[in-house]
Amino acid sequence: MTADMEIICVGNELLIGKTLNTNAQWLSKQATLLGVVVKRVTVVSDDVAEIAAATQEALKRKPQFIITTGGLGPTFDDKTLEGVAKALNRKLEVNPEALSMVKEKYEAYATELHKQTVELTQPRIKMATLPEKTQPIRNPVGTAPAVQARIDGTTLIVLPGVPKEMEAIFEESVAPMLKQASGNKVFHERSIYADNIMESGLAPLIDKVMQDNAGVYVKSHPKGEENKPHIEIHLSTMVTDAEKPEEKLQKAITQLSSLIEKAGGKVFTNENRT
Amino acid sequence: MTADMEIICVGNELLIGKTLNTNAQWLSKQATLLGVVVKRVTVVSDDVAEIAAATQEALKRKPQFIITTGGLGPTFDDKTLEGVAKALNRKLEVNPEALSMVKEKYEAYATELHKQTVELTQPRIKMATLPEKTQPIRNPVGTAPAVQARIDGTTLIVLPGVPKEMEAIFEESVAPMLKQASGNKVFHERSIYADNIMESGLAPLIDKVMQDNAGVYVKSHPKGEENKPHIEIHLSTMVTDAEKPEEKLQKAITQLSSLIEKAGGKVFTNENRT
């Protein structure tokens, strides 16, 4: 059984094209490298109903993990926890463990800023206000704790959107969970590059190689144009080390390279045709 | 009434973190600038059932536009049209208009490549095999035609994933539709930057400015850390020119800057604090 995951990204800045969704790529890559299959990424706005709907829809598909990013901060438009609470039909309440995490941060900030105290205002308490029956996760580099909950077979993890914070929490607390769930499967990938063969001419050769090499996925990515073809061919497999992934990939590459050359194409091992 | 849109991106390369989803950002930005609100982005794998499910779910939410990107080429894993056909419960059939578009391309390629002919193989005919009752859209820079269909109140537009092709088709054939639908609304935005005020301290000031400036949306984006704050504050509005968007934004900026300075913060008009 393969462990699977969905990602939900929250933020108007993604939907107006102001911000490139590097968080989705980073999370997808890390999960894949840890042997977890990312099935879907959903991006919604800073809107409670939208966040709740996306969360409920993802829960219905029963992935092993759902990771959300964004909308955990102190401002009015940080609405992810409200959306998640609505999705789970749970109340929001100040979580004592989260509150002590937030308090500790502001005490440290006060010291650093040479102030006697930094008051625990409503926007600051908001970061410790979680849906009932969820647990805070330590944020090693920022203020807002992340949150986790178990809903039937799904582990829901709510991360902040600031990349540095999201990445630090993922590495400290989330990666170990994914690794355990994936059961030692690891993602292996290689690319070769082909010139002088159109993608439409390559198509039947890829079909053949995928038929002959079970477990190896082959996908062409045109980098040139159909009539001036320069095509990246990406080969990947997600298996345990016992299944000899590098040998599997090499066997597929050898066969594919030979088929391409027979068809009049040229094969390179890197993008710059060397 | 505001015109709204959903984007569906198809491609395993997005879900394994190999490719950064620049298409979603580009489309979101163009749609926003044309006055159309992007409500959701969904990324799914090269899988017929996944593509069909995402399309059906989007259709149920009844946006004015759904734009898909990716999965239109000649290879086995280009499955978007099969997924859309399944979502619409329509058969796939060779579309004569699309076939003549594809034929014309290969005739031109044959001339350029000094060949007598480039055969219309099955992978090439696949690019002209569309769901029933849909129309091809000319691809000015690549081979695979885009596709459009009207389903109840929604215009569904199926674009290729190669950025150059997607952008060219969007500009030639899609942008005019969006522009007409948005009824002259245009997106206006400005950013200011604040130091020496924590995001949690800024929160109530943003609340006040949004209350006093109807139609202006204000969102803070922390660029530093909570205790060494450097925050981008992004102000935006989507209105017709008659509603004087620049004046609206300037009024909100003036008020917000004054509130930040009263609270001990410093305001800059650009990210480099000049």
Instruction: Considering only the beta carbons, identify the residue of B19, B203, B227 that sits closest to A113.
Output: B227
Give the closest-approach CA distance of A44 to chain B in angstroms: 5
Instruction: Considering only the beta carbons, identify the residue of B16, B38, B200 that sits closest to A124.
Output: B200
CA B68/CA B82 separation, integer angstroms: 13
CA A206/CA B44 separation, integer angstroms: 22
Instruction: Considering only the beta carbons, identify the residue of B38, B142, B199 that sits closest to A15.
Output: B38
The CATH class given to the A4-182 domain equals alpha beta
> pLDDT at position A274, please?
67
Q: Are A47 and A136 in contact (CB under 8 A)?
A: no
pLDDT tens per residue across all 274 residues of chain A: 689 999 999 999 999 999 999 999 999 999 999 999 999 999 999 999 999 999 999 999 999 999 999 999 999 899 999 999 999 999 999 999 999 999 999 999 888 888 887 889 999 999 999 999 999 999 999 999 999 999 999 999 999 999 999 999 999 999 999 999 998 888 999 999 999 999 999 999 999 999 999 999 999 999 877 778 899 999 999 998 899 999 999 999 999 999 999 999 999 998 777 6
**A73 closest CA partner among B235, B203, B224, B232:** B203
CA B229/CA A218 separation, integer angstroms: 46
Nearest CA in chain B to A227: B109
> pLDDT at position B70, please?
97
Token pair listed for A39: 């099935």
> pLDDT at position B274, please?
67
Whether B108 sits inside 8 A of A43 (CB atoms) is no
Token pair listed for A199: 């993608």
**Domain residue ranges of chain A, discontinuous segments joined by +:** 4-182, 186-268
Dump the DSSP string for chain B: ---EEEEEEE-HHHHTTSS--HHHHHHHHHHHHTT-EEEEEEEE-S-HHHHHHHHHHHHHT--SEEEEES--SSSTT--HHHHHHHHHT--EEE-HHHHHHHHHHHHHHHHHTT-S-----HHHHHTTEEETT-EEE--SSSSS-EEEEEETTEEEEEE-SSHHHHHHHIIIIIHHHHHHHHTT-EEEEEEEEEESS-HHHHHHHHHHHHHHSTT-EEEEEESSBTTB-EEEEEEEEEE-GGG-HHHHHHHHHHHHHHHHHHTT-EEESSTT--
pLDDT tens per residue across all 274 residues of chain B: 689 999 999 999 999 999 999 999 999 999 999 999 999 999 999 999 999 999 999 999 999 999 999 999 999 899 999 999 999 999 999 999 999 999 999 999 888 888 887 888 999 999 999 999 999 999 999 999 999 999 999 999 999 999 999 999 999 999 999 999 998 888 999 999 999 999 999 999 999 999 999 999 999 999 877 778 899 999 999 998 899 999 999 999 999 999 999 999 999 998 777 6
The CATH class given to the A186-268 domain equals alpha beta
Nearest CA in chain B to A199: B74
A contacts of B189 (beta carbons < 8 Å): 16, 18
Whether A28 sits inside 8 A of B17 (CB atoms) is yes
Whether B76 sits inside 8 A of A207 (CB atoms) is yes
Nearest CA in chain A to B21: A21
Q: What is the pTM of this model?
A: 0.95
> pLDDT at position B184, please?
82
Which among B21, B99, B117, B200 is the top mutation candidate for probing chain A, defined by the most A β-carbons within 10 Å of its own β-carbon? B200
Which among B2, B18, B236 is the top mutation candidate for probing chain A, defined by the most A β-carbons within 10 Å of its own β-carbon? B18
Please state the ipTM of this predicted complex.
0.95
Q: Strand A146-151 relative to strand A135-137: parallel, antiparallel, unpaired?
A: antiparallel
> pLDDT at position B191, please?
96
Give the closest-approach CA distance of B253 to chain A in angstroms: 18
> pLDDT at position B247, please?
96
Helix (H, G, I), strand (E, B) or coil at A194: strand
Instruction: Considering only the beta carbons, identify the residue of B123, B141, B227 that sits closest to A112.
Output: B227
